[in-house]
Structures are given as C-alpha cells and as structure tokens.
Structure 1
Amino acid sequence: MTHTPQDVNVLLVDDLQENLVALEALIRQPGRRIHTVRSGEQALSLMLEHPFALAILDVQMPSMNGFELAELMRGTERTRSIPIVFVSAGGRELNYAFRGYESGAVDFLYKPLDPHAVRSKVSVFVDLFRQRQELQEAKAQLQRAVSMRDDFMSMIAHELRNPLNSVYLQAQLRRRMLAAPKPPDSQTMLKMVERDERQIRSMVRLLDDMLDVSRARTGKLAIVPAPYDLVASTTAVVEAIQEQANASGVTVTLAAPDALPMKGDEFRIEQVITNLMTNALRYGQGKPVAVTVGLRETEPEAFVSVRDQGMGVKPEDQERIFEQFERTEGTAQIAGLGLGLYIARQIAQAHQGRLEIRSSPGEGAEFILSLPLDAPEEAA
C-alpha cells in the first residue's frame, strides 16, 4: 500500500506474528499506516519517532507485558497522550480490566476478536486524531493571524507616526513664525505647505495600500480598461518621483520609445510603476535607478523594467517578498509595510500580466512588469 504524509499512524504490539498479520488485515484502510512490532521495547522506540492515533497492545507478552508498556508510555511526554486499547485472551475478569484502566487504557478487546467492533473502535480513534490535528492546525493559523495583526498594527502606528509628527512640528513652527514680529514671506510658507502635502500624500498612500490589500483578498480589486500610452504613464511617474530621487541623491534614467499605445487601467498601472520606483529608491542604497519601457521581440507583450543597484534579494526570498507584509532580510530599519509588491502583483495579474524579479545578493534587483498588448475588455 502506498502511504502519504497525511496518513494516520496506528501501532500494533503483539509477540505473535500471526496475531499481528490478522489484526493488520482487519483494520487496514486507505489513509492509515499500520506499524507492527513484537516487543514493548520496539514499540517505545517507534512511538518516539512517529505520532500515533492509537496503540493496540497485547496484554500477555514476554519480557514486558502490555500493562508495563502502558505505564512506561504514560511516564513519557511524547507518548503520554496516545490512546491505548488492550487485547486480552484472559477473559473479562474484573481485576484484569481495573489494572488495564489504571495503566491508562481507554478500552479492551477480548479474543476471539469481533471484526465489526475492532473496526469501529479503530475508526473512532483515527477520526478523533484527525480532528485533533485539524484543531491544532486551526489554532496555529489563528495564532499566526493574531501575530500578523499585532505586527501590522505596530507597523501602521510606526508608519503613520512619522508623517503625523512632521506635520505637527511644522504646525508648531508655523504658529511661532506667525507670532514673531516679522511674519514669514509667502515663499517660505509655500515650501512649508508643500512639505505638509508630501507628508499627507504619504499617509493617504498608506491608507490606499491597506484598502487595496483588502480588495485584493476579497476579489474586489477593480480595473477599468481604457486606451492609454504606457510610455507617457511611465514618464509621468518618473517625473513625479524625481524630487524624492533628487533629495536622496539618486540618478534616475528612463529609456523608452516615443509612444506605446496600450489598453488597461492607467491609474492602476501607474500605481505599480510607482511602487517599483519607490522600492528602488528605498533599497537601492543611493545608487542609480534605470527604468526601461519596451516591447518583447518574441511575445505580444510590453514591459516596464525598474532596476536598482542595491543589496539585491536572495533566491529563497524572491517569491516571499510578493506576499503581504513580507520584506527581504536586513531591511527592517527601512520604512514600509511590505504591501507594495503584493498589491503590484495583484494589479499585474488583474491585467493578465506578470510581475517578476531578477536579482542576486549584492548585485541589485530588477523588477519587470509584463503586460499583454490585448488587455482585458472588462473590469476584473
């Protein structure tokens, strides 16, 4: 019988091989893996290696009888919770049963065995074991969800605190300036307003990301296809982010044809490119960023490539960073929630496109958005 990792283990212990063969034939079913041993010592060794839904022990065995084995099982953490069913040919004497239950038995089977009773009892314990496994998995998932929620709330508080503190300090500074004998000139005030606007946009972008994650998870991330120019859209994003790049001392270059007509949701595509550009500035270690727009030679696709020269991404992290709240190792001190790439890939897939990464540690990262020339006709 072929076994899978999901099979439930059942242990049979009897010193007589013919008894083991007969009992195994009686309870063998798909989804069960039957282990048979002929001594208590072998049974203990096996129970330390595998989780068992049930152990069926013969009472009368040489060197170590079933009661002694059960007492040893109850004294070990790993084997303590395994249900024990005794098999006895000694009749239904009351003292025998008492000793069995005292040593931890949950049931007795008496020879000659009733096939229907044996199958029913084993099925009950196998089903209970599966239910316990499901409950444990559900508990683990709930704990992960609670942990993720707590981490998320902590990140949100951190990400909102910085721009809010900046806006608050700017307001306090403005109050003092207005109370001074010589009021500030309009240019100074204009620069302060522009700083406020940048901080507010940062907070709005954060909230938009949170909403987009919720929409993507519920299948409500809508796109509204319409004709647009991919080159013009990419150029607009590069120009919009140029001020941030200049402030970081980063050179951004754009290589693109004069135009590239497409059909899709221009706002959403610009959102993807913005996320990729923001990532390149965050993780590019202040080195130049290259943006390229073009057409595939072998496929009816357009692409936008954003390449930085930063720390790069390890191969084992290259799929993980596209998940919610995931970031590459060594970047905890860099601002961000780890939502941008997740949202960007969802938008690419909604356009029947792809978002991929090419990277090696220490050699930068290239993110490539590929879009079909015949975009979806309806909102996705």
Structure 2
Amino acid sequence: MNNVPNKECSLGLTSGAPGHPVGNVTKLLIVDDLPENLRALNAIIRADNRAVYQASSGEEALALLLEHDFALAILDVQMPGMDGFELAELMRGTDKTRHIPIVFVSAAGKELNYAFKGYETGAVDFLYKPLDPDAVRSKVNVFVDLHCQRMEIRRRVEEQHTMMNELRAAQEELRYALRVRDEFMSMVAHELRTPLNTLFLGTQMRKMQLERGNLEAFGKPALEKMVEGDGRQIQAMIRLIDDMMDVSRIRSGVLSIRPAWTELQAMLRRLTDDLSRQAQDAGTTFELEAPETVSGWWDEFRIEQVIVNLLTNALRYGGGKPVRIRLTTSDTEARVDVIDQGPGIDEAMQARIFLPYERVAGNGVPSGLGLGLYISRQLAEAHRGTLTVASRPGEGSVFTLALPRQEKPAA
C-alpha cells in the first residue's frame, strides 16, 4: 500500500501538523458526529502540506466553511440535528462555499438510495462504510490536485491582472511625461519668444535709424533707455535658462549650497528696491517690515533666488494690492513672510503649486515656466529649512520661508 503523500500545490507551502495549519496549506474538512469516525478518516487523508479541519455537527462545519477556503468537504450523511444533505444544500446556496467539492460518507445500506439524493444535492462522490483507505486516499488526492490547479489558475489570473494594472499605470505615466514634455517645450518657446521679439524689434528700430542717418536717436538718454531695456530682456532669458538648469541639478542631486555669513534685513531692502519698477508696472508697492538685522549661515545667492521668486509671485497674483514682507527671528530660526492680498489659493491647489511646471492664471505679469516655487522649496530644504503657504480663497496668501540659525555651516 503506497502511503507516500503527493506534493500538494507547489506554491511555497509550509508543512504543519494535521488540524493545526501553518502558512498556506491545502485545507480539508471532515464532518461526523462520532469522534472515532473523525479520527479514522483523519488518519487516512492526512499528509504533509495539508490541514484537516474536523467538525462534529453541521453548525460547527458551517462556521469553519465561512472562515476557510477548503479543497474538499467530506460529510457524514446521518447526523443528529442538521444532517449531511441539509449541510450540503446550505453550502450550495452560499457563494463562498458553492465551489467546494462534497463527498458523502454513509454507513446505511445502498438500498436506501442515499447516493442518488447525495448527487442531487451536488455531491461529487458517495462512499459507503467501511471505507477502503486506498480508495479514499486516491479520491482525496484527485480533488486536492484539482484544487491546486484552480489556485494556480487564480494566481496566474491575478498576476496578469496586476501586470495589466502596472502596464496601464506605466502607459499613463508615459502619456503624462509626454504631455509635460510637450507643454514644457511650448512654455519655453513662448517665454523665450517674448524677450527675443522685444530685442529683435529694438535692433530693427536702431537699424532703421542708422540707415536714415538719424544719429540724434542715439543720444545719451535714449542709449541709457535702450541698454536698460535690453538688459531686462536678457535677464529674463537668463532666469529661464537658470531655472531649467536648477531643475536638472535638483533631479540629478548635484545642486550645490555654499553657506556664508548672510544678513537678511539688508538683502530684503535691496531686493524690494530692485523690484520696485516691476511692482510699479503691476500697479502695486512693497511694504517691508524688517525692524532688526537677522544673520545666519546661508547661501546668499540661493536665498535671494527664493525671495525674488516669492516677491514676483506676490506681484503676479496679488491683484494690484500692496505686498507685505515681514522679517522675524527667534533663537533657532529666521522667518520671511511674503503676504499678498490676492484671490487666495484653495486647499487642493496648495500642494500642486510646489510641483514643477504648475502655473495658474495671474494678472498679466509674465508667468515663467512654473518652476519658481518648486525650485524655491528645494532650496529651502537644502538649507534644512521649509517653504510653506497658508491661504484661503478670497483672503490672500502667506508664503513663509523658515531658515535654521546656526553658528557655522551645515556639513
């Protein structure tokens, strides 16, 4: 008599003692009201990588059926209370248990025609006592193999479903990347075209004046105005190129910070003076509140870059109302608040504005590539600081740059 168990489902299963499953094993259910019958049947069908669950009543069996996924249920027909046929009908009426193969076992004679009734209730086999151990073992192995095949098919379907989801996600990411690339190229072309067109028109006007011999058009006041205008357009293009280079440095992890002893009060005064012409063009003014000097170890060039971004954004979205800049300090940090009185930013947009290429409609001030706040937050975090926004629709916005104060540069 061959008593060597089959290898069950080759899905990385873990062996456990019968009745005490460990890990993902093949589960079998036997139901009989007599303990000696349960012990005998358990001895016949138990094997490595199997867990045999025992129930002495239909009610106890139903509780196990709702909790576990069984490869096979072997039911005794004649039990007090709920008999095997009634249990089978209940199993066939529930989605979770409808698929479980049922084998009936009975000690009654064949003349009672129990087998016919068993097959009517959905049984796959009917066995009479006394049981032939080899026959029982062989039948159980067949149903275990079928269960393993179903589990393997289910696993492959789930893998295919997962792969399809991953493929769809990858396709969506690719479409998004292509859309961002196209939008980025369009923005770059648009933002560079404006200063280039201005420079081109200026050179055409000068060329026309030279061809006409109108040298009076190049007097000192006119030349100063030309040089100033050319410088603004060139600086605009340089800023765009610098932003693109900074994004590349950030993503490649080579953005450099060079801390030095830096004073913020004088920096804010200088920057608001430098941007006063831009504020005038936007129909507004700056209101600086910086009553005391505040110094620390920061990269002056990069902090200027952050503050200029915040100031130009406040002009762009401030609705033509005054922009307040407030400098405060504590023993551990310095804070620069840039406060506008614009339409505000809703909560959903507050997280998005710090993403690259995100732009919202302003008041006519050139909007750039949508990189300013993204770069600024990265620069703040490179200083071990933060850049945050507090805003409500209709109540303006407060952008806060918080920088740690240190006695010497961070390593």
Fold conserved (TM > 0.5)?
A: yes
1:26–1:119 CA contact under 8 A, matched in 2: no
- Paired residue for 1:66? none
RMSD over aligned CA atoms reads 3.2
- Paired residue for 2:326? 292
**1:129 matches 2:161:** yes
Equivalent residue of 2:326, what SS?
strand
Larger relative contact order (Cα-Cα within 8 Å, sequence gap ≥ 6): 1
2:339–2:396 CA contact under 8 A, matched in 1: yes
- Paired residue for 1:371? 403
Alpha-carbon displacement from aligned partner over 1:129-182 (angstroms, at most 9, x marks no partner): 212211111111111111111111111111111111111001101111222333
Q: Distance in 1 between matches of 2:363 and 2:188?
A: 14
2:316–2:364 CA contact under 8 A, matched in 1: no
Alpha-carbon displacement from aligned partner over 1:255-309 (angstroms, at most 9, x marks no partner): 113421111101000000000011011111211111111214xx61111111111
Q: Kindly tell me the number of residue pairs found equivalent between the two proteins.
A: 291
Equivalent residue of 1:223, what SS?
coil
1:233–1:270 CA contact under 8 A, matched in 2: yes
TM-score (norm 1): 0.69
- Structure 2 residue identity aligned to 1:112: F
2:71–2:144 CA contact under 8 A, matched in 1: no
**CA shift at 1:26, angstroms?**
4.8
**1:179 matches 2:224:** no
- Structure 1 residue identity aligned to 2:279: A
**CA shift at 1:120, angstroms?**
2.5
- Paired residue for 1:282? 316
**CA shift at 1:378, angstroms?**
4.1
**1:222 matches 2:256:** yes
> Which consecutive residues of structure 2, in runs of 5 or more, have no partner in the other structure?
1-60, 73-90, 101-122, 126-140
**CA shift at 1:23, angstroms?**
8.9
Equivalent residue of 2:353, what SS?
helix
- Structure 2 residue identity aligned to 1:125: V
**CA shift at 1:121, angstroms?**
2.5
TM-score (norm 2): 0.64
**1:248 matches 2:279:** no
Alpha-carbon displacement from aligned partner over 1:56-94 (angstroms, at most 9, x marks no partner): 989xxxxxxxxxxxxxxxxxxxxxxxxxxxxx979xxxx
Alignment of 1:40-119 (within 5 A): 112-114=143-145, 115-119=147-151
Query: Which of 264, 270, 286 is matched with 2:298 structurally?
Result: 264
Q: Distance in 2 between matches of 1:158 and 1:368?
A: 30
Query: Which of 141, 145, 156 is matched with 2:173 structurally?
Result: 141
Check 1:211–1:25 CA distance in 2 against 1; reply closer, same or farther (3 A cut): farther
- Paired residue for 1:201? 235
**1:324 matches 2:369:** no
Query: Which of 339, 345, 357 is matched with 1:313 structurally?
Result: 345
**1:157 matches 2:189:** yes
1:254–1:290 CA contact under 8 A, matched in 2: yes
Equivalent residue of 1:129, what SS?
helix
Q: Distance in 2 between matches of 1:241 and 1:260?
A: 21
1:224–1:378 CA contact under 8 A, matched in 2: no
Query: Which of 367, 372, 380 is matched with 1:340 structurally?
Result: 372
- Paired residue for 1:24? 69
**CA shift at 1:112, angstroms?**
3.1
**CA shift at 1:358, angstroms?**
1.6
2:243–2:372 CA contact under 8 A, matched in 1: yes
> Which consecutive residues of structure 1, in runs of 5 or more, have no partner in the other structure?
1-16, 28-36, 44-55, 59-87, 91-109
**CA shift at 1:122, angstroms?**
2.3
Q: Distance in 2 between matches of 1:228 and 1:371?
A: 12
Q: Distance in 1 between matches of 2:269 and 2:279?
A: 14
1:351–1:376 CA contact under 8 A, matched in 2: no
- Structure 2 residue identity aligned to 1:216: I
**CA shift at 1:250, angstroms?**
1.4
- Structure 2 residue identity aligned to 1:131: M
Query: Which of 337, 354, 361 is matched with 2:386 structurally?
Result: 354
